[in-house]
């Protein structure tokens, strides 16, 4: 079976401070059919090479937006990337169907526990509600938005737990790479973690 090619768009303006993200990235090394892009490293001046990014999107089947959850959203670089790369006539609009059928998911790290992200929880809203703008962006571009994969409680993890979370992340990426998806397969799940049975309580 043909493997899915995965493009990981990683945005973290202070990666040196993030134990969990450093380890997650390390676990991706040498995986076949995985392309990793650290946007803050590639574009420190925010001058994004739009044509290069669009070319990469066309060459991959699954796009991953990997970032920490900053103020209930993503770091500024991801917003800049979306604004520039997913342009009218390419990603959306009457003639903008270049990405139709591709799949997108958010991979998020956050210090808050999972039970903080629900109605009545500390943050008052669910993760899906916070990510609604990303969901709509993806569907506007004729792509399929998968449930998010979230590493909760990252600030509370010891090194063994970080290693375990990074291993789970790697397994998730390989599962996406090696799977044949059917329409609606993910609709009943709030988190991709649950579908893949690797959520850690």
CATH code (residue 187): 3.40.50.360
Instruction: Over range 15-26, report the average pLDDT.
Output: 92
- pTM score, two decimals? 0.93
- Comparing 25-39, 81-95, 181-195, the range with the smallest average pLDDT is 181-195
Q: Does a structural domain hold residue 1? A: no
Tell me the per-residue pLDDT of 68-79, one tens digit each, with 9 for 90 and over: 999 999 999 999
Residue 61 within a domain: yes
What range does the domain containing 39 cover?
6-195
Residue 30 lies in a domain: yes
3-state helix/strand/coil string of the chain:
CCCCCEEEEECCCCHHHCHHHHHHHHCCCCCCCEEEEEHHHHCCCCCCCHHHHHHHHHHCCEEEEEEECECCECCHHHHHHHHHHCCECCCECCCCCCCCCCEEEEEEECCCCHHHCCCCCCCCCCHHHHCHHHHHHHHHCCCEECCCEEECCHHHCCHHHHHHHHHHHHHHHHHHHHCCCCCCCCCCCCCHHHHCCCCCC
Does residue 86 lie in a domain region? yes
Q: Is residue 200 part of a domain?
A: no
Residue 201 lies in a domain: no
Residue 173 lies in a domain: yes
Q: What is the pLDDT of residue 2?
A: 81
Is residue 167 in a domain?
yes
How many domains is the chain built from?
A: 1
147-186 residue pLDDT tens: 999 999 888 899 999 999 999 999 999 999 998 777 577 7
- Residue 201 predicted with pLDDT over 70: no
Strand partners, 105: 64
């Amino acid at each position: 079976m043909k493997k899915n090619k995965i493009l990981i768009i990683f945005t973290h303006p202070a990666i040196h401070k993030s134990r969990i993200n450093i380890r997650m990235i390390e676990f991706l090394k040498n995986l076949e059919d995985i392309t990793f892009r650290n946007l803050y490293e590639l574009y420190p001046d925010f001058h994004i090479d739009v044509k290069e990014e669009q070319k990469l999107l066309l060459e991959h089947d699954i796009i991953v937006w990997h970032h920490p959850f900053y103020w209930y959203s993503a770091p500024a670089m991801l917003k800049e990337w979306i604004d520039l790369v997913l342009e009218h006539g390419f990603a959306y609009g009457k003639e903008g169907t270049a990405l139709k059928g591709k799949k997108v998911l958010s991979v998020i790290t956050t210090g808050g526990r999972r039970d903080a992200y629900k109605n009545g929880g500390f943050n008052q809203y669910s993760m899906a509600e916070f990510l609604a703008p990303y969901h709509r962006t993806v569907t506007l571009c004729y792509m399929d938005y998968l449930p998010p994969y979230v590493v909760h409680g990252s600030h509370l993890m010891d090194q063994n737990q970080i290693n375990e979370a990074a291993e789970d992340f790697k397994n998730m990426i390989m599962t996406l790479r090696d799977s044949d998806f059917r329409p609606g397969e993910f609709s009943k799940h709030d988190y991709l973690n649950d579908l893949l049975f690797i959520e850690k309580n």
